[in-house]
């Protein structure tokens, strides 16, 4: 490793406050966490999720999640399916916190 190497990650427009809720955060779709997509309450961990997605992209050159819409699903549904495919089932409290009971 090079001790002189440093990196600063700044995406100020996307940083969320402790009280953020509801509408999609102004962040690239590939970096959105499940809580943001579901419209659930979220806070600073959403920024850490986005940061981790950026680091993955910097290291690999690929997006960790690259959601696409299809004939029978929209981009958000595909994004949630990609999360489940990689990470397994989401905790029940995430879905319940969204207010969606379907």
Task: Quick: pLDDT tens for 38-56.
Answer: 888 888 888 899 889 999 9
Cβ pair 54, 31 in contact under 8 A: yes
Per-residue confidence band for 22, with pLDDT thresholds at 50, 70 and 90: very low
- Using alpha carbons, list the distances in angstroms from residue 37 to 22, 53, 93, 98: 9, 15, 14, 9
Q: Work out how many domains the chain is built from and give that number.
A: 1
pLDDT at 65 over 90: yes
Q: Does the model's pTM come out above 0.75?
A: no
Flag whether 21 is in a domain. Answer: no
- What tokens does 90 get? 């989401």
Flag whether 38 is in a domain. Answer: yes
pLDDT at 25 over 70: no
Per-residue pLDDT at 70: 93
Flag whether 82 is in a domain. Answer: yes
Cβ pair 24, 36 in contact under 8 A: yes
Flag whether 23 is in a domain. Answer: no
Cβ pair 54, 65 in contact under 8 A: no
Residue 43: which domain range? Answer: 30-97
- Exposed / middle / buried, residue 64 (Cβ in 10 Å: 0-12, 13-18, 19+): middle
């Amino acid at each position: 490793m090079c001790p002189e190497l440093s990196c600063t990650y700044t995406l100020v427009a996307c940083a969320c406050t402790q009280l953020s809720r509801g509408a999609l955060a102004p962040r690239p779709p590939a970096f959105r966490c499940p809580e943001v997509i579901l419209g659930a309450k979220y806070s600073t961990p959403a920024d850490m999720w986005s940061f981790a997605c950026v680091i993955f992209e910097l290291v690999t050159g690929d997006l960790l999640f690259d959601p696409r819409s299809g004939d029978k699903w929209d981009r958000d549904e595909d994004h949630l399916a990609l999360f489940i495919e990689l990470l397994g089932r989401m905790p029940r409290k995430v879905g319940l916190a969204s207010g969606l009971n379907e």
